[in-house]
Amino acid sequence: MNLKKITFILENFYPAHRAGTETYVLNLAKGLLSREWEVSVIIAAVGKESHNYEYEGIKIFALSVPNKISTQELNGLKNPSNLITFKNIINQLSSNIIHFHSFSRSFTHFHLKEAYNFGAKVFFTAHLGGIFCVRGDLLLHGKRTCNAKVQQLRCTTCYAKQKYSNTKALLGGWATLLLSNTPFITQKPSLNLVSNKKMSLEYLQKYTHQCVAIANWIEAAYHINHIPNTTIITQAIDTSKFTRTKQKETNSKLKLGFIGRMNPSKGAHVLLEALYSNDLYKKIDLEIITIRDVSEVGYYTTIKEKFKTLAYSQWTENVSHSEINLAMNDWDFLVLPSYHEVAPLTILEANAKGIPVIGSDYVAIAEMIQHNQNGLLFKNGDSKGLALILEQWVDSPSRVDELSRQIKKVKDVQTLIEEHLSLYS
């Protein structure tokens, strides 16, 4: 067995998908390839036949996943239909290291166990909060940051409040009694999600050699769920691609940048509400760089229509990293009003260019931004709080340099590769 043979497993990959997890794995894969490792990637082919392709020297195996998966399978009550095919691919590749970067409807703890039983060293990296949360946002009852401990009653009632809000209102005090009753949960398979989540975490403890945390809060979440085999390897970027190639004009207006999917969780509406407070939009430039989220067409349309009323602003979609890098040269602040994140690369990309970040105080963002040092924080979802910050800076954009000078050197992807080499050794 080749000692330098690794398989990464994640939901999607280049060139069709270019989000944070895909970029993380691509950088890691290219770094290992340059060190003469044999690298392969297994992804999901939802609603398609299994097929193979190659991207930048990386062998990609797309595993067929049905468009519709049964509720029993989604809730871990039945083996995934593609498990045998997955096992065949694992045997074919014969990698001695298998690194999961996803638990999803396509790749579950059953797949993890198969990889472990094959005899490979198995690693797991959490890139999404959904590994600890059935809602996916780690917001307890949608209001405050949760400690990420998976508990049957608390998590079930929190999820039910989101999914069955009208039913719960009707049931009143009986809802808690019903949701804490195991037979009731079994009869309602969608409420078995919490039991399935607990099972996934138990499998991580049993069937991985190491779980990687890309942020301190994720390591704390592992530990509170009794997963001791963890290590921290924080996010990194290719810093050579994010350098300030020109200086912003000194006496120009304050200019903000927003990067993210046009989805309510990214908080674009919070930013627009803040700009309309006291007519701030008349004094501030805004550039939005986004992609259309097909699951949130109504939200996309609403935000884009409202954006058209702003003065001196720009909206662009589906741009390359090099185009984003160029656009950022003119920004004073990156604004990150997300309701929930994990370890956003956009903060590192902005900081690499000397651009401070104004962000919500959600745990993952607050961990990366030191208030009044490399950026500014406002209460999650509080457009008035964001407006207050903008009012303090709108008339003196030159003061941004005070924050820029306090930004620490950003971790480069080469360091991340070396850390993984140590992990795998």
Convert the pLDDT of each residue in 176-202 to its tens digit: 445 455 554 444 555 578 888 999 999
Separation in Å, CA 265 to CA 4, 271, 299, 302, 337: 39, 12, 11, 15, 9
Q: Which residue has the higher pLDDT, 359 or 169?
A: 359
Domain span(s) for CATH 3.40.50.2000 in the chain: 5-133+194-236+414-424, 239-404
Q: Taking a C-beta distance cutoff of 8 angstroms, is the pair 27, 116 a contact?
A: no
Express each pLDDT in 51-102 by its tens digit. 999 999 999 999 999 888 877 777 777 888 899 999 999 999 999 999 999 8
Express each pLDDT in 104-121 by its tens digit. 889 999 999 999 999 999
User: E-strand spans in 71-196?
Assistant: 97-100, 121-125, 139-140, 144-145
What CATH code is assigned to 5-133+194-236+414-424?
Answer: 3.40.50.2000
d(C-alpha 214, C-alpha 219), whole Å: 8
Confidence of residue 293 (pLDDT cuts 50, 70, 90): confident
**pLDDT recorded at residue 417:** 96
Residue in the block written with tokens 């065949």: 88
Residue in the block written with tokens 């969780």: 265
Express each pLDDT in 211-220 by its tens digit. 999 999 999 9
Domain covering 239-404: architecture: 3-Layer(aba) Sandwich (3.40)
**pLDDT recorded at residue 187:** 47
- The predicted model scores a pTM of 0.87
**pLDDT recorded at residue 17:** 84
56 burial class (0-12, 13-18, 19+ CB within 10 angstroms)?
A: exposed
**pLDDT recorded at residue 204:** 95
Q: What DSSP character marks residue 38?
A: E
Separation in Å, CA 183 to CA 179, 188, 202: 9, 9, 22
∠360-348-148 over CA atoms, to 5°? 50
Express each pLDDT in 371-381 by its tens digit. 998 899 999 99
